[in-house]
Amino acid sequence: MKWGWLFSLPAMLFFSTFFLLPLVALGIRSFFETTGAGAWTFSLATYREIFTDPYHLGLMWRTVKLSAITTCVSLLLAFPVALHLRQMSSRMRALVTLAVLSPLLTSVIVRTLAWLVLLGPQGTINRALISIGWQPYQLMYNDVGVVIGLTHVFLGYMILSLMATLDRVDDNILLAASNLGANRWAVLWHVIIPLSLPGMLTGAVLVFTMSASTYATPVLLGGSKAKVLAAEIYDLAINYLEFGMAAGMAVVLLLVVASMVFCVTRYVEGGRRKVIFE
């Protein structure tokens, strides 16, 4: 049918009006500076400030660092679980999948509040430490708290990505390796891990991008001591009404996320790129 594409038209119009247009306007706005009432001039001042001011560079660095650590921790925690899920009986598997994935459908705010209760200076963990005679430990309002919170929030996505590839690993290959004399660590290291690399990368991209751009969790668990880009964008726009700066920082955040996606997808063969986005 020649006019079949028209079905996609309403959604595309909606997208152009409420997504593409605002983003393009935001991009343009970040290159302009107001010079008096209603007068605008082209200027790179915003980006000059962002890329020379140590405060903003520090925010960028912390955002990348916290997201990278969260990604690594999630991968480490998720891999054995996905490996275990692969060989469970179907009943057990359904149960564990439900336990692992159901937090994904619980509000991010609720899950962050849970960590607030646990990690706070007067929180459950510190009270327990004190009651057995230990020193309380600073678990919140620092990088540790943010990483714990982000890992809890995004771990499920990593497990899902790993499950998708690990389930497709052919048992016969593993049996072959084992028959040829490889012990289980060798099978794991030389066969299972290389074969599940695409899933690891998909999961890493997902967790990294979501960690880098998430707002509520770092704000509640990191406070002003461990501020990230998303929090700074909000403060600039809503508290200081510095829309030009906020727009510039948002563009920088997008660049951080996009460059990560680009770097990782370049490592995976061209055809796999789709896997990550769909």
Say which residue the tokens 């099978």 belong to.
187
Min dist CB 89 to another protein, Å, is 6
Instruction: Work out whether 162 is an interface residue with another protein (CB under 8 A).
Output: no
Instruction: Work out whether 144 is an interface residue with another protein (CB under 8 A).
Output: no
User: For residue 242, what are the CA distances in angstroms to 9, 33, 87, 260?
Assistant: 36, 11, 54, 27
* Number of residues located near another protein, criterion CB under 8 A: 102
Three-state SS at 41: strand
Min dist CB 30 to another protein, Å, is 10
Of 43, 93, 195, 242, which one interacts with another protein (CB under 8 A)? 93
Which residues within the stretch 95-114 sit at the binding site for another protein (CB under 8 A)?
A: 96-111, 113-114
Which residue stretch of 37-45, 47-55, 81-89, 262-270 sits at the interface with another protein (rule: CB under 8 A)? 81-89
Which residues within the stretch 9-68 sit at the binding site for another protein (CB under 8 A)?
A: 9-12, 14-15, 17-23, 25-26, 29
Binding mask 231-250 for another protein (x = CB under 8 A): --xx--xx----x--xx--x
3-state secondary structure 161-182: HHHHHHCCCCHHHHHHHHHCCC
| Helices (H), ranges, 87-214 | 90-101, 108-119, 124-131, 143-166, 171-179, 184-187, 193-195, 197-213
Min dist CB 173 to another protein, Å, is 9
Assigned token pair, 178 = 């084992």
User: Which run of H or E residues covers position 263?
Assistant: helix 243-267
